[in-house]
Structure 1
Amino acid sequence: MAETNPSASAPQPVPPLRQPGRGLVFILGALTVIGPFAVDMYLPALPAIGLDLGTDVGAVQQTLSIYLLGLAAGQACLGPIVDRWGRRGPLLVGLAFFVLASVGCALAESMAALLAWRLVMALGAAASMVVPRAVVRDHFNETDSAKMYSLLMVILSVSPVFAPSVGGLFLDWTGWRGIFWMLVGLGLACAAAVFWSLPETARRTPPASGGIGQAFRTYGRLLRDRRFIGPALVAGFMVGAVFCYLAGSAFVLIELHGLSPKQYALAFGFVGLALIFASQLNRLLLRRFALRAILNGTLVGLALVGLALLVTGVTGWGGLPLLLVLLFLNLSAGGLISPNIAAIVMAPFGEVAGSASALLGTIQFGVGAGAGAVVGWLHDGTARPMTGMMAACAFASGVVWWTMGRTRGRQAE
């Protein structure tokens, strides 16, 4: 039995909106993409950073790990703050930290300084991930939320497709420090858009005070509520599959299949287009089919793709063409599942939307980072660790959905 969450047991109905305003889509889209951009843009600069700061690429890669850790921790801390103090204030403070940290990274003269500023940058970027989900929940009901999350997914998909190329251009023109100055400009632009154009959307009835204890109690109720934890774990395993792909794709495609770095970038972009394609398809499907029907069909298809990935990883059957097709289909499933799952997770918890959004993000990054790490630990010189873990994430998401995630409870319809 799911424990009833007093904060979520009687959510306020949210009227459906036929079409979100373009201004809202633009602002939330820019906020959603700023965190991933801060990862994808500087990836081409890792060797240059190591050379300039007198260290090896392996040490520079720690800046990626600490950034992901900061995103997970920052989201967990921000949830109760966003519920108590509203959306705008914490978001503007987070963007201020992001801008300050970007300046610090651009001026860093040692690896220790760069690591410290990357952690601060991640804590600031966490606000741009927590707040947009909460704002969507403030504005839209479950079905319209799924449509809005699909729009945001299209914008988010720009990062893996184009950000590495943009980072490479800045690296050629300005050196690696110019990438962080570009992020300063992006952060300032987002802050200006929020300050002038994004009104406060939180209800003016803040939850009862209780500090850290109240925050932990809220998270505890969410974790015990099947309406939250089941779909949230599905979302986590979907992100896990993406992290497995990120962790293993360079080795599999370049070392095993002989692609050049430029060919790898093209293949990476092709697979990334799956998210754009699927997110647009999801908006069309939602006009004709129920949200949960889309999830049911997609998860069955994802299980079949996972099985095929497992077979081709073990046997090599189909070679590179089949592998790329299966990777495309796997990420396409993510583009169909992720926005719908986010809508289901957030719908019943309007009064604690900030905490729900934060905990969802923390679970996603926690499961994702763990799955990606397993790919590294299992490295054996073959494609099996990547394809096997992607298959495991696909199967796990289906099992969790069919055993825990289909609980409807009370919906914010």
Structure 2
Amino acid sequence: MTQTAPSPFDTAPPRPVDRRLLMICLLGALTAVAPLSIDMYLPALPALTSDLSTGAMQAQLTLTACVAGLAIGQVVAGPLSDAFGRRRPLLIGVAAYAVASLLCVAAPSVETLIALRLVQGAAGAAGIVVARAIVQDLYDGVAAAKFFAALMLVTGLAPILAPVIGGQLLNVMPWTGIFAVLTGIGVALFLGALLGLKETLPPGQRETGGTRATLRTFRALASDRPFAGYALTLGLSFATLFTYISGSPFVLQDIYDLSPQAFSVVFGVNSIGIVAVGQVSGMLAGRVPLRLLLATGHAIVVAGAVALVVVVLTGGGLYGVLPALFLVAAGQGLIGPNTTALALSGRPPRVAGSASAMLGVTQFAVGGAAAPLAGIAGPDTAVPMALSIAGAAMLAAVATAFALRSRRSAALVSD
């Protein structure tokens, strides 16, 4: 199955290295819709809270709404891409994302913004789920793990640059201007997909059974023990990361007195950790069993989460919190690509979109549900964030152990 699909680019045939680089850039940019939509306005959350006369939990619900939309949208876009090909659902979704982002600029209340963020996330989900399905069209097993790790090099730039850009934009415009920038990004992604991406799922390999076939596929995936375990791993790991994402603006700015600009630098450093560890994962894939790389990622995240709880409960300062948060973030670079590759390995192209969607809906649904927990006790304590991160990190490790116990998982990770 590896590299049997047609080239996704309609230019003259480039050299193999160039073609791979182009694909990494384009698919990585499409996958970056989620961190761009979430992270760019993280430094603006306190200003948004004040401007819309709302509370920290309501402001965090704008994040939850976007993540919920990202989950819902993948359930729709994934099966559609199996039935109609990858290109059309992708273009429709990215165009709708640009429109929804523009409407967020004029949101008059936090309730309206929450609703628009739900639509924005649902539309942007097409880029995420289709990009992952395209990788599965072209690669499998260790090759897919290497490619997913390479995507993190591009996708990882979004959480590094987004909060930095967001913090700087707040110096020259109100928080609504950030959504105007996201509108421009949506337009650029639409043009990139329109001009640079061809179909990777030929008509003969598409799912033709309609809604019944889609539901059967979802049922089969849900009852597949290793797949369900890996899906839970992604969801709980993202809950760990997203609790940090949603809680850290208030904890680091309101409790530890960081400026929006300093916060964006700290956030960027942690994102560099994700990217760097992801690249190490890609280099080691094929030489080190994927399950060992995955277990190492869990060990790093759990160590950081436990350290964070200890520091917060003992009244430790900023210089104890920052290294712990770095470990929590950096370990995701080992968890994400290897979990995704193991979950999708060996699945036929006609169900790759549905499988990708099920991974995505679990990831974003669990992550979105966890986000408000970081602010449940108000903006004056970091204890809920620390405990939520630790709980999700430990449960993610348990979910991976559940997946790896099956004979099929052992076979998949042995190459």
Retained in 2: the 8 A contact 1:97–1:123? no
Retained in 2: the 8 A contact 1:48–1:176? yes
**What per-residue deviation string (whole Å, max 9, x for no partner) do you get for residues 34-53 of structure 1?**
2321232234445666777x
Quick one: distance in 2 between partners of 1:284 and 1:131?
Answer: 25
Q: TM-score, normalization: structure 2?
A: 0.85
Quick one: distance in 2 between partners of 1:364 and 1:352?
Answer: 18
Equivalent in the alignment of 1:334 = 332
Say how many residue pairs are matched: 399
Quick one: distance in 2 between partners of 1:233 and 1:278?
Answer: 21
Closer, same or farther in 2 for the Cα pair 1:194/1:387, shift >3 Å? same
Closer, same or farther in 2 for the Cα pair 1:169/1:267, shift >3 Å? closer
Pick aligned residue for 1:323 from 300, 321, 324 = 321
In the alignment, residue 330 of structure 2 is paired with which amino acid? S
Quick one: distance in 2 between partners of 1:30 and 1:166?
Answer: 16
Moved more, 279-288 or 391-400: 279-288
Closer, same or farther in 2 for the Cα pair 1:314/1:115, shift >3 Å? closer
Q: Matches of residues 291-306 of structure 1 in structure 2 within 5 Å?
A: 291-306=290-305
Equivalent in the alignment of 2:206 = 206
Equivalent in the alignment of 2:360 = 361
Closer, same or farther in 2 for the Cα pair 1:146/1:47, shift >3 Å? same
Equivalent in the alignment of 1:163 = 162
Moved more, 292-301 or 123-132: 292-301
Structure 1 residue 340: deviation in Å? 0.7
Q: Matches of residues 91-170 of structure 1 in structure 2 within 5 Å?
A: 91-107=90-106, 114-170=113-169
Structure 1 residue 113: deviation in Å? 5.5
Moved more, 25-34 or 85-94: 25-34
Secondary structure at the aligned position of 2:198 is classed as coil
Closer, same or farther in 2 for the Cα pair 1:55/1:283, shift >3 Å? same
Moved more, 43-52 or 177-186: 43-52
Quick one: distance in 2 between partners of 1:258 and 1:49?
Answer: 18
Retained in 2: the 8 A contact 1:46–1:57? no
**What per-residue deviation string (whole Å, max 9, x for no partner) do you get for residues 231-254 of structure 1?**
111111110111121233234333
Equivalent in the alignment of 1:347 = 345
Moved more, 216-225 or 177-186: 177-186
Retained in 1: the 8 A contact 2:43–2:264? no
Quick one: distance in 2 between partners of 1:248 and 1:55?
Answer: 19
Quick one: distance in 1 between partners of 2:382 and 2:47?
Answer: 28
- The alignment status of 1:218 with 2:205, answered yes or no, reads no
Quick one: distance in 2 between partners of 1:378 and 1:60?
Answer: 14
- The alignment status of 1:402 with 2:397, answered yes or no, reads no
Closer, same or farther in 2 for the Cα pair 1:288/1:322, shift >3 Å? farther
Quick one: distance in 2 between partners of 1:48 and 1:383?
Answer: 20
In the alignment, residue 333 of structure 1 is paired with which amino acid? G
Moved more, 338-347 or 105-114: 105-114
In the alignment, residue 333 of structure 2 is paired with which amino acid? G
Quick one: distance in 1 between partners of 2:284 and 2:160?
Answer: 24
Structure 1 residue 86: deviation in Å? 0.9
In the alignment, residue 207 of structure 1 is paired with which amino acid? E
Retained in 1: the 8 A contact 2:24–2:154? no
Secondary structure at the aligned position of 1:166 is classed as helix
Retained in 2: the 8 A contact 1:234–1:400? yes
Q: Matches of residues 246-261 of structure 1 in structure 2 within 5 Å?
A: 246-261=245-260
Quick one: distance in 2 between partners of 1:109 and 1:374?
Answer: 26
Equivalent in the alignment of 1:243 = 242
Structure 1 residue 108: deviation in Å? 5.0
**What per-residue deviation string (whole Å, max 9, x for no partner) do you get for residues 278-318 of structure 1?**
1122122225312222123333344333333333332245x
Q: TM-score, normalization: structure 1?
A: 0.86
Closer, same or farther in 2 for the Cα pair 1:264/1:175, shift >3 Å? closer
Quick one: distance in 2 between partners of 1:295 and 1:101?
Answer: 36
Equivalent in the alignment of 2:11 = none
Structure 1 residue 168: deviation in Å? 3.8
Secondary structure at the aligned position of 2:207 is classed as coil
Equivalent in the alignment of 2:10 = none
Closer, same or farther in 2 for the Cα pair 1:177/1:336, shift >3 Å? same
Equivalent in the alignment of 1:4 = none
- Mark the runs of 5 or more structure 1 residues left unpaired by the alignment: 1-11
Retained in 1: the 8 A contact 2:77–2:129? yes
Closer, same or farther in 2 for the Cα pair 1:230/1:61, shift >3 Å? closer
Quick one: distance in 2 between partners of 1:384 and 1:61?
Answer: 17
Quick one: distance in 2 between partners of 1:375 and 1:108?
Answer: 25
Closer, same or farther in 2 for the Cα pair 1:170/1:324, shift >3 Å? closer
Structure 1 residue 137: deviation in Å? 0.7
Quick one: distance in 2 between partners of 1:251 and 1:51?
Answer: 13
Retained in 1: the 8 A contact 2:71–2:365? yes
Q: Matches of residues 376-395 of structure 1 in structure 2 within 5 Å?
A: 376-377=375-376, 381-395=380-394
Q: Cα RMSD (Å) of the superposition?
A: 3.0
Moved more, 321-330 or 59-68: 59-68
Quick one: distance in 2 between partners of 1:56 and 1:225?
Answer: 43
**What per-residue deviation string (whole Å, max 9, x for no partner) do you get for residues 370-393 of structure 1?**
222333335595433222222212
Retained in 1: the 8 A contact 2:277–2:334? yes
Structure 1 residue 225: deviation in Å? 0.2
Closer, same or farther in 2 for the Cα pair 1:139/1:408, shift >3 Å? farther
Structure 1 residue 110: deviation in Å? 6.2
Closer, same or farther in 2 for the Cα pair 1:374/1:149, shift >3 Å? same
- Mark the runs of 5 or more structure 2 residues left unpaired by the alignment: 8-15
Q: Percent identity?
A: 36
**What per-residue deviation string (whole Å, max 9, x for no partner) do you get for residues 74-105 of structure 1?**
11122211111110010001011112223333
Retained in 1: the 8 A contact 2:231–2:362? yes
